[in-house]
Amino acid sequence: MILIIIICIPIIGLCQNNSFKKEYIHNLDQSEIEIIVNKGTELPFSGKYNDFFEQGEYVCKACNHPLYKSNSKFEYKCGWPSFDDEIKGATIKIPDNSYGMERIEICCANCFGHLGHVFYGENLTNKNTRHCVNSLSLKFNSLKLNN
């Protein structure tokens, strides 16, 4: 436990000292700014990628940083796209105690744009992880994956 705290403190400190990199704001419309910059949440079941399962890669809508491969996406019916893994180093995690809940916010590691939240211990997949991501935070690129 102590080892985990020692490793996480620098990462959490880094996340809290950085906010969305404004040079990417010109890539976003008003709805995307509300989600990515202002840390909003799109309505459940309203997102473009909620029931989308094509082969390819999901990147940050603001900066095009690769985030998730389609083979990590799974159907959960929570109202938002769910992934059980990220591309290594693609996101940063920040404790989020807003709205009286204890959650972990996930942001793009490149531009610090808000993606959604990550949940552990739900036993939904073998990886026991669920990245619950706003569709408006994502852009999809079709490609053939090399597993």
Give yes or no: 108 in active site.
Answer: no
Is 35 in a helix, a strand, or coil? helix
Q: DSSP of 51-111, one letter per residue?
A: T---SEEEEETTT--EEEEGGGEE---SSS-EES---TT-EEEEEE-GGG--EEEEEETTT
Query: 108, 91 in Cβ contact below 8 A?
Result: yes
What is residue 10's three-state secondary structure? helix
Among the options 15, 108, 111, 132, which is catalytic?
132
Under a CB-based contact definition with an 8 Å cutoff, are residues 42 and 48 in contact?
A: no
Is residue 130 helix, strand or coil?
Answer: strand
Q: Annotated catalytic sites, by residue? A: 132
